[in-house]
Amino acid sequence: MTPQIDDRRARYLYEAVLTGSVRAAADKMDLNPSVVSRQIAQLEEELAVPLLERHGRGVKPTDAGNLLVEYYRQHSSHVDDLLSKLQEIRGLVRGNIDLVLGEGFVSDLMAEPIQEFWRAHPGLTITMTLAGTNEVLRLVSEDVAHIGLVYNPPSTPGIRSRATIRQPMCAIVATDHPLAQGKREPLFKELLQFPVAVMHGSYGTRQLIQMAEQVDKVRLTPKLTTNSISVVKHFVRAGLGISLLPAFAVSQEVDDGQLLALPINDTVLAGAEAHIVTRLGRQLSSAANQLLLQLMANMRAFRNVAATRRRAT
């Protein structure tokens, strides 16, 4: 007799693999760890094959476990797509869109695109997750998120760029900083004389800086490394130093006259791009597709506008 796959137990396995441990999966689902462990053991017994390798720091899927995880991921995606199509028949009255993005996109996103989207579809909800470049790509590829906004991502199998536009890396400085008084674009190596705040290595901005270091044969020694663009902005506004970010990440502060975004005379940094991504082969629901169009039309990050200097008056 062919064994049947219990989707509930498959979900427990999926969450254990995704979070790295049975306890973390139980915490996420608000269950007792023994319940999760017992259900996975039952699934292994029913399928007559080991699904997890258990070790001191957590769990790792076996080959069979990987097959079950992929089955559950695809199954969940198909269910979501079906529910989305049913929602479309009801006229986009209800439904949720999962969006994952780098923090630098937040101000831009909240300024106009989300407002316009909710005016048109007030019954729809959005789950917004902030993540670094690598995590954005992972969550989109695993169908945890419908749409991702990411800065200068590496080429990744299974990821489709729905919109791409050049968004150069800029020197972010206070309005009275010496760099703001220059008559030309600073060279990358000229930035090394100032204290610099940068993002962690999993972020596209830091990965781009590392590429520029290799090409220009220089080494940047950050004064501050963080996973928060908000912290970076405070660092620059306080006069503690400068940073390197795309102009759209500080658009509100530039508009308010608090900061300047200065283009940098560097081929690598000038070639950076902002991307809207989805999983290759995934059919977005009508709601998600409407949000995608709104992002492409109304976000500064996806308009073909070069970074410009803004001086305090």
Report if residue 81 sits inside a domain.
Answer: no
Query: Who wins on pLDDT, 47 or 225?
Result: 225
- Co-location of 265 and 294 in the same domain: no
Does this model's pTM top 0.75? My answer is no
What is the number of structural domains in the chain? 3
Q: State pLDDT tens for residues 38-74.
A: 888 888 888 888 989 888 778 889 998 888 888 888 8
Report if residue 80 sits inside a domain.
Answer: no
- Co-location of 23 and 62 in the same domain: yes
- Co-location of 212 and 296 in the same domain: no
144 pLDDT above the threshold of 80: yes
- Co-location of 144 and 283 in the same domain: yes
Spatial distance between the Cα atoms of 228 and 90, rounded to a whole number of angstroms: 40
Domain that holds residue 149: 92-166+274-302
- Co-location of 191 and 246 in the same domain: yes
CATH number for the domain harbouring residue 13? 1.10.10.10
Q: How confident is the prediction for the chain on average, in pLDDT? A: 87
Q: State pLDDT tens for residues 296-306.
A: 988 989 975 43
Q: State pLDDT tens for residues 171-208.
A: 999 999 999 988 889 999 999 999 999 999 889 999 99
- Co-location of 152 and 179 in the same domain: no
- Co-location of 26 and 159 in the same domain: no
137 pLDDT above the threshold of 70: yes
Contact by Cβ (8 Å): 12, 19: no
- Co-location of 253 and 203 in the same domain: yes
- Co-location of 138 and 218 in the same domain: no
Contact by Cβ (8 Å): 162, 280: no
- The mean per-residue pLDDT over the stretch 16-30 comes to 88
- Co-location of 281 and 264 in the same domain: no
- Co-location of 243 and 158 in the same domain: no
- How many Cα neighbours within 13 Å face the side chain of 19? 17
pLDDT on residue 43: 87
Report if residue 310 sits inside a domain.
Answer: no
Report if residue 159 sits inside a domain.
Answer: yes
Q: Is 274 helix (H, G, I), strand (E, B) or coil?
A: strand
Q: How far is CA 192 from CA 60, 99, 205, 243, in A?
A: 43, 36, 16, 11
88 pLDDT above the threshold of 70: no
pLDDT on residue 86: 67
Spatial distance between the Cα atoms of 311 and 313, rounded to a whole number of angstroms: 6
Which of 18, 36, 70 marks a domain boundary?
A: 70
Report if residue 76 sits inside a domain.
Answer: no
- Co-location of 220 and 155 in the same domain: no
pLDDT on residue 141: 93
Report if residue 11 sits inside a domain.
Answer: yes
Report if residue 309 sits inside a domain.
Answer: no
Report if residue 160 sits inside a domain.
Answer: yes
Q: How far is CA 106 from CA 131, 169, 201, 273, in A?
A: 11, 17, 20, 17
CATH number for the domain harbouring residue 180? 3.40.190.10
